[in-house]
A and B are shown apart, each in its own frame.
Chain A
């Protein structure tokens, strides 16, 4: 594990995101058994440097999406804190751009209007909005599709719109939840290369949640491997592949070794039964 030492009193300038002791429990209600809590995330600790690309992988049910909800501020963790630039996250704000699983485009808005949504909320005047949306529409390669409605776009194009929408209001951090899960394999690889290009142009700090080991290795500087039930940081694997990443890397020795290593980390994660603990075990809610 390559965890840098944490001193809350002196936030490290290079640390963009600090995940500190995040635990999250869901309340379950089962007849006869009474109220139980399901521990989805258990004491997660890691940091993400400024401009770094970190992928989070784990088996289904390891709380990946819950982690992203907490990072985005949509959910409040049972315990622990997220710090971005030294400030604790208390809710969703425009310092983070979020690409949710399943596009989540507003179907009544055109490409341009979707991209401008966050700018409207931010109060950017119309003329500036237009210029910014043009720039980001071009960045994701959708020039010419500004006035299309989401139902007129393919899955890959919708994902590009979602990415442009998340980048348009210039957040320092980009959070992505299984962004390419809904597109076909070929489009997926194209979009991965596009994402790397956009990342290198915009220098955002990225956390990407995925269930694909290949995707995590191909894109990220480091891969956070989670175990399931409850979700814990199993290991953090540094990806020592050169940049810019090219498709040829996918079949190289180093890539295959990394894939095997992460695969093993995930395999050794004995499929424990869902850990049901009583309420007082996860106190301090």
Chain B
């Protein structure tokens, strides 16, 4: 903890630490209130006691499944499914989006109604089909994530390339760009904010859908952990798994936010 004098030395204009701590507490007041309510509610007894596990219990269970390696195993399985499906979708959707948005306008107009329809197909109505085709192993879950990621990535990439500022392409050409240089130095960076929006949208829905799929048909993974706790009436484990999933979701969003600022932070006010 810095003493006030060193804090003053380091950052002259920043407020001193007690003030900053106070502000931090105030900004996160809702979190503390929520945790306090959650802790106290089950102590009121009755049904609440049976159905809600307080944070203190959740913390203990979390420590247990962390130590036993159970959590790491299930999180690892989920991560593999999410990443493989997401990666495959990106590998397919990004080049396809560039082709549809940049080269084949007429074709894009022809196929876009079908693509929009497929994008609206709820993945869960296809899940039985995936299980039929790929079994209840890894492949059906990866396929679901792939399906969920494919459409937002494709739409965002196609739109980003279609809406590219033609002035930038003209500028690139007058500055001596051949087709390859034009693509990698002008078109890709110019389309990157839109592409990143697609990556972000698909990554967060993919995680959500994966957990749900694991609740329906899986033998491992974070979603399975929830489902398994549910049928065995392990309320504390159920709550713990739910909390872990939510925190991982928050973490994923924060990570993508940081990446977005690092990679396409130049966007600023988009008026070059």
Contacts and interface: CB of A to CB of B under 8 A. Distances in A.
Decide whether A and B are members of one complex: yes
Interface of A: 72-74, 92-94, 96, 98, 100, 102-109, 117-118, 120-122, 149-152, 158, 165, 169
Nearest to B263: A108
Contacts of A98: 171, 174
A247 B268 CA distance: 37
In this complex, the member of B168, B176, B186, B266 whose beta carbon has the largest number of chain A beta carbons within 10 angstroms is B176
B99 interface: no
B109 interface: no
B272 A104 contact: yes
Interface of B: 167-168, 170-177, 181, 185-186, 189-190, 192, 264, 266-272
Nearest to B176: A121
Contacts of B190: 106-108
Nearest to A121: B176
A74 B189 CA distance: 22
Contacts of A72: 174
Contacts of A100: 167, 170-171, 174
A164 to B, nearest CB: 12
Contact of A92 (B167, B176, B192, B272): B176
B272 A105 contact: yes
A120 B243 CA distance: 51
Interface of A is mostly: loop
In the complex, the 7 A-B pairs of residues with the closest C-beta atoms, listed nearest first: A151-B268, A121-B176, A104-B171, A107-B272, A98-B174, A108-B266, A118-B175
A102 B171 CA distance: 11
Contacts of B267: 107, 151
A122 B176 contact: yes
Contacts of A106: 168, 171, 186, 189-190, 272
B266 A149 contact: yes
Given A100-B167, A104-B168, A106-B189, A151 B269 contact: yes
A99 B116 CA distance: 40
Contacts of A118: 175-176
B176 A93 contact: yes
A117 B185 CA distance: 9
Contact of B268 (A73, A104, A149, A158): A149
Given A92-B176, A106-B186, A74 B170 contact: yes
Contacts of B171: 98, 100, 104-106
A165 B267 CA distance: 20
Contact of B181 (A104, A109, A121, A165): A121
Contacts of B181: 121
Contacts of A169: 175-176
